[in-house]
Amino acid sequence: MDFLTKQELKKSIEALLFITDKPISLDKFEEIFEGATKEQLMEIIDELKKEYVERDSAIGVREIANGFQFATKSDYSPWVRKLLKDRITLKLSTSALETLAIVAYKQPITRAEIEEIRGVEIVSVLETLLERRLIRIVGRKETVGRPLLYGTTQDFLRYFGLRNLVELPSLEEFTPAEAAETEETESNTEE
Amino acid sequence: MNQKTYDVHLEVFEGPLDLLLFLIRKNDMDIYDIPVSQITAEYLDYISVMKELNLDIAGEFLVMAATLMQIKSKTMLPSPAVEEETGPDPREELVQRLLEYQKYKQVAQFLSSHELDEQGVYYKSMPVLSEEDYLLEATIFDLIECFRGVLKELPGDVKEIVYEEIPIEQKIREILDLLEDSARQGRKYISFKDILIREIKRIGAVVSFLAILELIRLKQIVARQSKLFGEIRIYPVTV
């Protein structure tokens, strides 16, 4: 960081956060600004974030999908929508959401494994999700037929406003409490 | 009177498991102790209504109907009392599937509410314009044309012919690796010809060609050229 004053570094980071089309990770910042430590960078990003909050701006630095990026506040979405009305994509269908839910928790996962859980065929859903960059092919499973394995993307995290996959609630939280109770009493009677 | 029947493609239920969960909820049934006869009857009832409405019933619905009837017959079969105690509940597997599916339905709802929250938040999309933004998508004919050229350039088959089988998966991985390597070196694309010309044998070139087509179909790569009949370049689709 010898060649940059802190103020200049802050401005440079601001420029990158503005221009990027996908969240920039701390690793990436470290790589770009050789010599600056992650702690220093994080401190500066935090300062920037605060500055935008303090000036009550319509845009702000967001920590999203394992990185940082500027985003507009939802208060101004009507105007953005008006400006970009021909680029607005449809909301996801229930089958797309269910499929994503399974991929998110079980990745890497094959198509057959997802179909097994959902009980329906999902070829076209997978294609839509691939096209919208919400999932991607992460490899092949070393079994008969070597089927493709799918995983979620950075766009997936950003689309749902998640900072990382860890932010997803644990699956146990979704087990209905009532059902869990019944299960317990059942196993008790068995004993 | 118009005799024409209409095919309605309506996703009423996401699938047989969804329908079963709906029936369980509707009848306030205990998922761990499903009254099989009752639920089978209701399930079949729904299927016949869906048929009557000319809804497109996916095969999965019929498979589940068969499964239900099988479970039903098992539970009704008079079996020796001893076996009844030790034998597994024929419903067990279905219950597990329903519970598993139900969990992910809840996750889907969680995601859906996040989707709603995030709807008004916008990020910048790629603003950098360069000459490369105006590239043409190469068509299958361009690809074949180039492929033919490469086949001619390849050395004639070696005297000793060893039959070799190259799985397309292997080539897919090789090509993705190549693209990754060149991306690391700061190159955005690889020439289509360069990928093919690496091969010494015809079979290798053929499989590489097929692998590229497959990757294009899966939207993992795109083939572009800067001008008509120009050099074809393979770009990774970055996610």
pLDDT tens by residue, B133-142: 445 677 788 8
State the DSSP code for A66.
T
Q: Domain limits of chain B?
A: 1-121, 124-239
What is the DSSP code (8-state) at residue A72?
A: E
Reply yes or no on whether the pLDDT at B172 is more than 60.
yes
Task: Choose, out of B64, B86, B107, the residue to mutate when testing the contact with A (most A CBs < 10 Å).
Answer: B107
**CA dihedral in degrees (A37, A39, A44, A47; nearest 10)?**
180
Instruction: Read off φ and ψ for residue B125, nearest 5 degrees.
Output: -105, 170
Residue B232: which residues within 8 A CB-CB, separation 6 or more? B138, B142, B143, B146, B191, B192, B193, B223, B224, B225
Partner-chain contact B32 A183, CB within 8 Å: yes
For residue B60, what are its two tokens? 């999965």
Q: Test B121 with A155 for CB contact under 8 angstroms.
A: no
Q: Which amino acid is at B183?
A: A
Best A98, A107, A144 residue to mutate vs chain B (most B CBs within 10 Å): A98
Q: Per-residue confidence of chain A (191 residues) as pLDDT tens digits? A: 556 788 999 999 999 998 888 899 999 999 999 889 999 999 999 999 999 999 999 999 999 999 999 999 989 888 887 887 766 667 888 899 999 999 999 999 999 999 999 999 898 899 889 988 899 999 889 888 889 999 999 999 999 999 999 999 888 887 654 444 444 333 443 33
CA distance B20 to A190: 27
| DSSP annotation string for B112-173 | HHHHHHHTT--BPPP----GGGGPEEPPHHHHHHHHHHHHHHSPPPPSS-------HHHHHH
Question: How large is the average pLDDT for residues B35-52?
Answer: 87
CA–CA distance, B183 with B190 (Å, rounded to integer): 9
The amino acid present at B4, given as its one-letter code, is: K
- Superfamily of structural domain B124-239: Structural maintenance of chromosome 1. Chain E (1.10.10.580)
Integer Cα distance of B62 and B80 in angstroms: 31
Yes or no: say if A112 and A147 are a contact pair by the CB < 8 Å rule. yes
- Are A156 and A105 a contacting pair, CB within 8 Å? no
- On whether the CB atoms of residues B27 and B33 are closer than 8 A, the answer is no
| CB–CB contact A120 B15 (8 Å) | yes
The reported pLDDT for the residue numbered B87 is: 64
Contact A98 B99 (CB under 8 A): no
ipTM > 0.95? no
